[in-house]
Chains A and B, each alone.
Chain A
Amino acid sequence: MERKVHVQTTINGEPAEFLCEPRQSLLECLRDILNLTGTKEGCNDGNCGACTVTMDGRIVTSCLVLGVEAEGAEITTIEGIARGNELHPLQKAFLEEAALQCGICTPGFIVAAKALLDQEPHPTEERIRWWLANNLCRCTGYDKIVKAVQKAAQEVTL
């Protein structure tokens, strides 16, 4: 086994540190070391988007980032989207619009959609579909997800 590496980072606004093997992905570190299991593994090769988190404001698939790369970075996961006890408008809209069925892809979609609304408060339907094309959902056919993002976009601007 490789000697473990000490990583200092910021997760959901709080300083965090952990020991990981150099070969461990950020996804593994979040789930298995930090017990932040809201970030999901669907494919482990960057193609399903279930493990989407933001790293210094950019969305990344955490299965394709090494844990050691989190050194000094700011990571936001699904656990950091709600403001305390108050759900983010996207989380509310996903519930009101029934935009999830099994829910396994939902954390990735919400993290990715929030990154979109943070930089573009008024995306078109086409833009939402383009932005979310790296997040696979097999249950909903995307209709209600797109509508939930549209609804949240209205609420964010209000």
Chain B
Amino acid sequence: MSTQYNVIGTRPIRHDGADKVTGRALYGADIQLNGLLHGAILRSPHAHARIKRIDTSKAEALPGVKAVATAADFPAAGDKIVDLGEGATPLSYIRGNVLAQGKVLYRGHAIAGVAATSAHIAEEAASLIEVEYEVLPCTLTAPDAMKDGAPILHEDLHMQEFGKKTDKVNNVADHFRFSIGDAEKGFEEADLIIEREFHTSTVHQGYIEPHNATVLWNNDGRVQVWTSTQGSFVVRDTTACILDLPVAQVKVTPMEIGGGFGGKIPVYLEPVAAVLSKKSGRPVKIVMTRKDVFEASGPTPGSYIRAKIGAKRDGTFTAAQAYLAYEAGAYPGAMVGPGAMCIFAAYDIKNVTVDGYDVVVNKPSTAAYRAPGATNAAFAAESVVDEIAEKLGIDPVDIRLKNAAKEGTQRVDGPKYRRVGCVEVLQAIKASEHYNAPLGGPNRGRGIGIGFWFNVGLPSSCTISVNADGSVNLVEGSTDIGGTRTSIAMQAAEVLGIPAEQVHPSVVDTDSIGFTAVTGGSRTTFATGWAAIEAARDIVRQMKERAAKLWETEPAEVNFENGVFSKNGKSMPFAELASKIGETGGPIVGRGAVNPRGVGGSFAGAIADVEVDPETGKTQVVRFTSIQDVGKAIHPAYVEGQMQGGSVQGIGWGLNEEYYMDTTGTMRNSSLLDYRMPTALDLPMIETIIVEVPNPGHPFGVRGVGEANIVPPPAALANAIHQAAGVRLRTLPMKPSTIMEAVWAK
């Protein structure tokens, strides 16, 4: 099927572009309000301690201080269970992470907030708050936290096992198992079985803009929030829940957001700023320091994984098994579920068993990070696949092609794939110039990896109103992190037959648009795009009525194609008819509200060429290609951008990045100097190959592109390092010392 589009597939300038290259765009921290106070948060210096006493009197007495807040200022949470978009969670956990109650569970855990006339005074005041602690032993990794006798974080947390609550009180919030076929029998049929252990470090999403929130608790009782968030409605609902207010009493205005990657879904500051505003009667702005961002906002889980695959001599996989223990941080919810579903998701294996463990440890509560859970898992699985290919003497692409998931393949958690592009991604790797190019030097190696991410649907709303000049105004609720105003506007433009530039998109506050779920799960272009398609179709329907009125016929008799309304030789372009809406019945507003099914999963691949310095173990990425099935690329330049950005985050995760913790649970590298994210100088150009296997579940075939690209890089790098240096690394990051130790041990 080849479809001709007028707008989709082109590369218009983004609608918010001029604002963002001139410094005019307003991000969360940029807001200025009359009477604005500045806040600061006091954070725990201990990874695990009981709070015996908090004395705020000295802070309150400091000139310039207008209010101090602790957890005692929140309404009692009780044991309410809430679902705020990331699954059912006890409200006490969400609230307890915002301000600690009774215990601190990680270094950096918020204890109190202060509002003052300047940020400096607020910081000074926070340091004057006296807290008496009973320091407790801490536990920092999943394997340690699972041991008998490990310090217990939550005395009231009963382990859930196979869907049922047990009497066991330990640090395992949940143990679950997915199984298809008979793994034991499958391994009996194998000629070769490889089982390996893997460790991955805690890493951070690393957005450049720190978390921020500005709140005004107005005199009429309404709470107004300005913040940088991936989900304005999540902020509204969470803030209302913690403050025990009706949701519509909170209005959230999403400011421009400086990166998120999953980490700007949770709420950290808004409820504290709200309480401080209520107490002081003035708006309060709180901005995290970079150290706070590292120590107190959600990183992604570190993990311990065992992966085992059995294969016949011809490369056919007969069985697979895995054990995944992910560190949730201070509160349950380590995204180990998706990790377990994804670990073998790229393969058609009939006999698979996967066990997952969600383990609490004394580190910050983890948050989503781009395909959450899948990157850790793919590092393990793809390393084992590579080793099997090597032992059997089969090309790494060919062994994957032989076992690749396709339409009808059943994933370990049950669902069977609809049309997916795993095979096409592998074929694109095999056919690429990169895969077939010489390595070009000594100490070099090439590795590949592939990975899967589900993508999600979820609710979105959109309204479009027609202007008399033939342009339209599009209003939506998805915060724009990477150009989605434009990818959404382009889909509306395609339906309306007008240029993308004739659509004026706005991202608005929670009072001004219907419910819209987070910008996450690669869903925005898919789901909010779909809402825009529906709104545009609604406009076409109404405009046909107007044309019918003018031509004295029935709306069903009016044709609409390529932006032109016509009937029996009479025709009128969109803009001309738009100029007549006043005289044909008044304003035209289209609406779209969707909760789409038909989500299309995305497969991605990576080809990595590295050069490993034999004396220092430093790995240089010399060439890198990202390959992804995106369904349909609405704006190819921003699709490439997602693939490049996800790849480079994966490279950082693979080679450099880690929470370097000491035994007391203190992160010793909590600055952007020491937490070393890739710089421009560390990287080559990132080549991209866009694969388009249209998603049958979306009007334009969109799958979503934000996430799957981060999944393969660490595995591809490990496989490349093996070829370059002769060692297989099973611990992330693969930093120089890890490489040299492996080389020396050989």
Contacts and interface: CB of A to CB of B under 8 A. Distances in A.
A103 B256 contact: yes
Contacts of B499: none
Contact of B685 (A28, A77, A146): A146
Contacts of A44: 289-290
Interface in A102-158: 102-107, 110, 128-130, 132-147
B32 A101 contact: no
Given A141-B647, A142-B648, A144-B641, A87 B18 contact: yes
A32 B26 CA distance: 13
Interface centre among B13, B29, B259 (most CB of A within 10 A): B259
B195 interface: no
Interface in B478-498: 481-483
A97 interface: yes
Given A77-B23, A106-B20, A132-B680, A140 B258 contact: no
A103 B207 contact: no
Contacts of A24: 120
B468 to A, nearest CB: 26
A19 to B, nearest CB: 13
Interface string A20-58: 010110001001100111111111110110100000000
A135 B672 CA distance: 11
Contacts of A82: 22
B208 A141 contact: no
B679 A141 contact: no
Nearest to B257: A102
Q: Which 3 pairs, one residue from A and one from B, show the smallest C-beta to C-beta distance?
A: A38-B23, A104-B258, A141-B648
Nearest to A137: B208
B481 A48 contact: no
A68 to B, nearest CB: 15
Contact of B680 (A95, A103, A142): A142
Contacts of A87: 18, 21-22
Contacts of A9: none
Contacts of B194: none
Contact of A138 (B120, B645, B681): B645
Contact of A43 (B32, B290, B482): B290
A100 interface: yes
Q: Size class of B's contact patch?
A: 35 or more
B76 to A, nearest CB: 36
A55 B697 CA distance: 54
B13 A96 contact: yes
A62 interface: no
B27 A129 contact: no
A1 B641 contact: no
Contacts of A28: 119
A45 B210 CA distance: 13
B677 interface: yes
B160 interface: no
Given A1-B64, A97-B637, A132-B680, A48 B208 contact: yes
Interface centre among A36, A48, A79 (most CB of B within 10 A): A48
Interface centre among B21, B256, B648 (most CB of A within 10 A): B21
B637 A98 contact: yes
A146 B648 CA distance: 14
Contacts of A146: 680, 685
Contacts of A143: 640, 644, 683, 685-686
Interface in A59-108: 77-79, 81-82, 87, 91, 94-98, 100-107
B677 A95 contact: no
Given A37-B23, A82-B22, A129-B680, A140 B641 contact: yes
Nearest to A45: B671
Nearest to B31: A37
Contacts of A48: 208, 290, 672
A137 B644 CA distance: 12
Contacts of A45: 290, 671-673
Contacts of B233: none
B116 to A, nearest CB: 11
A111 to B, nearest CB: 9
Given A129-B679, A130-B681, 6 more contacts: A38-B23, A43-B290, A96-B13, A98-B640, A136-B672, A141-B644
Q: Size class of A's contact patch?
A: 35 or more
B17 interface: yes
B475 interface: no
23 contacts: A1-B118, A31-B29, A38-B22, A38-B24, A39-B23, A45-B672, A47-B672, A95-B17, A98-B11, A98-B640, A100-B17, A100-B21, A101-B642, A104-B256, A133-B679, A138-B208, A139-B259, A139-B641, A141-B641, A141-B649, A143-B683, A143-B685, A147-B685
B261 interface: yes
Given A106-B20, A136-B677, A42 B649 contact: no
Interface centre among B27, B209, B256 (most CB of A within 10 A): B209
A138 B21 contact: no
A64 B24 CA distance: 23
B32 A41 contact: no
A70 B683 CA distance: 35
A45 B290 CA distance: 9
B728 interface: no
B154 interface: no
Interface centre among A44, A98, A106 (most CB of B within 10 A): A98
Contacts of B642: 101
A141 B626 CA distance: 12
Nearest to B287: A41
A62 B649 CA distance: 27
Nearest to B121: A1
Interface centre among A104, A133, A134 (most CB of B within 10 A): A104
A143 B642 CA distance: 11
Nearest to B651: A141
B120 A21 contact: yes
A98 B638 contact: yes
Given A142-B680, A146-B685, A41 B18 contact: no
Interface in B123-143: none
Contact of B209 (A23, A104, A147): A104
A77 B24 CA distance: 12
Nearest to A38: B23
Interface string B618-648: 0000000000000000010110111011011
B287 to A, nearest CB: 7
Contacts of B21: 87, 91, 94-95, 100, 103, 106-107, 110
A138 B206 contact: yes
Contacts of B641: 98, 101, 139-141, 144
Given A95-B21, A98-B11, A101-B645, A40 B258 contact: yes
Interface in B642-690: 642, 644-645, 647-649, 671-673, 677-681, 683, 685-686
Contacts of B483: 98, 101
B25 interface: yes
B22 A42 contact: no
B677 A138 contact: yes
A97 B638 CA distance: 9
A32 B21 CA distance: 20
A100 B482 CA distance: 8
Contacts of A100: 17, 20-21
A112 B663 CA distance: 40
Nearest to A95: B17
Contacts of B32: 32, 35, 37
B27 A40 contact: yes
B611 to A, nearest CB: 16
A133 B20 contact: no
B676 to A, nearest CB: 10
Interface string B207-229: 11110000000000000000000
B567 interface: no
B630 to A, nearest CB: 15
A91 B209 contact: no
B30 interface: yes
